[in-house]
A and B are shown apart, each in its own frame.
Chain A
Amino acid sequence: MKREPGLIRPKDAAPELKRVERRLLLKSGLSLGALTMLTGCNLADGDDVDRALFAMSRFNDRVQAFLFSQTRLAATFPASRITNPFRFNAFYDEDDAPEIDASDWKLEVSGLVADKSPWTLARLRAMPQESQITRHICVEGWSQIGEWSGVPLHLFLKKIGADTRAKYVGFKCSDRYYSSIDMPSALHPQTILALDFLGKPLPTEFGFPMRLRIPTKLGFKNPKYVASIFVTNDNPGGYWEDQGYNWFSGS
């Protein structure tokens, strides 16, 4: 397709991004280790339009990091506002959600941390727990109010001796999902390693045994079935982020 350099034309982009999307679907089985590229690499790999969009998305990451305040809290709600039933959402059907055996589950810790010993569920339960009733906002536009409780991530990071001057905290999950957040968001008081939903251990469909609950980011930045946490200075990207969703996606 002939195109003047640097000119963004809407009608050209739709089929090309569709092509990217198809290509991405083929790549979605790729392991994290094989992804040697940056976040949003697939937009970056594309033509001029994709590259311009990718650059703007990185610009938006910086703007959002600038706007983010560690002391500004997401709105909380009374129990009467909790959405019931709560919606299952993943890149696969509910039947395919991983069923994890709590007895042999261990949370791996790696990267720029002092103590890399794995964590059992009992050890996480022994940590101080925080509860919140907040709105979970999906990138698709719908939102629901739920109640989560668990270990504040900032306490966990302190406990494992994480280098909190590092840029990113990454999450790898038992369902091939992965994501990452910026350190200031990781240290936000409402960012928790959630163990409970509605006062009971997380049900299978909502991420048993542990998920990230971060009400200052969109839903897809709240990975479920977290198996491993790592601290790094190299942006680990994410399952959707690498396909073109904005990486920061803060609220």
Chain B
Amino acid sequence: MSKAAAKTRKGRSVIVHPLVVRITHWVNAFAIVCMVMSGWQIYDASPLLPFVFPPTITLGGWLGGAIAWHLAMMWLLIANGILYLGYGLASRHFKKSFFPLSARGVWSDFRSALHFNLSHTPGVYNAVQKLLYLGVLLLGILAFLSGLAMWKPVQFEWLAAILGSYPSLRWLHFIAMTGIVGFVVIHLALVIIVPRTLPSMITGRVRLDDETGVHHEA
């Protein structure tokens, strides 16, 4: 919007994150932290790579405790995921927020971000954000499917067969985790660089006078 137009609406605020998105975001944050930390403890019982995760950043204390955490939090994550996906599809939140998405748009917004020259409209994601959010959503689905196939390789044999042999399920699950953790690192780094995005994830609102004109935000 133009500076002049924004000035006339100074002091007003708009909702940029719907309530369902905010609730599921924070439930998801808690569940993912628990899943990743307990998952690291489970990994440590039989490492895939020549390293283990230090006990201080794992959850569960030992393999049995970690599995208990992992398979309990799994339900919170599933329930939350169903709520989020159901809302995202029904309210057209996904369609409005993540699409259209083009490679050209990602490249141009990525370059703009690097030059601190990215325009920002409240409640509208740039192409790089769209790509990251869609990507982490797909990684979450991969983690869910590979985890389900690993938990029930006989009852869901068709799923295990699609995804590969039992050892490859562990790798897929590990790769999905790595991608999700990579996303979280970028996500948190951006919140630290642009801290004013944090309150809006709680209140859902952005004051328009904070958002006038061109913003230097990635």
Contacts and interface: CB of A to CB of B under 8 A. Distances in A.
Interface of A: 8, 10, 13-18, 20-21, 43, 52-54, 56-57, 59-60, 64, 67-69, 72-75, 135, 137-143, 215-216, 240, 243-246, 250-251
Looking at A13, A57, A216, A243, the one whose CB has the most chain B CB atoms below 10 A away is A13
A80 B34 CA distance: 40
Contacts of A245: 63-64, 67
A140 B55 CA distance: 16
A246 B60 CA distance: 14
Interface stretch (B93-101, B147-155, B188-196, B210-218): B147-155
A57 B70 CA distance: 10
Contacts of A15: 61
Given A64-B152, A140-B63, A215-B154, 14 more contacts: A14-B60, A14-B65, A21-B65, A53-B68, A53-B72, A56-B68, A60-B71, A74-B153, A135-B153, A137-B153, A142-B46, A244-B64, A250-B152, A251-B153
Contact of A72 (B34, B71, B157): B157
Contacts of B127: none
Determine the main DSSP class of B at the interface with A: helix
Given A17-B65, A141-B46, A215-B154, A56 B59 contact: no
Nearest to B41: A14
Interface string B5-39: 00000000000000000000000000001100100
B68 A72 contact: no
B152 to A, nearest CB: 6
B154 A251 contact: yes
Contact of A13 (B59, B75, B167): B59
Contacts of B155: 67-69, 72, 250-251
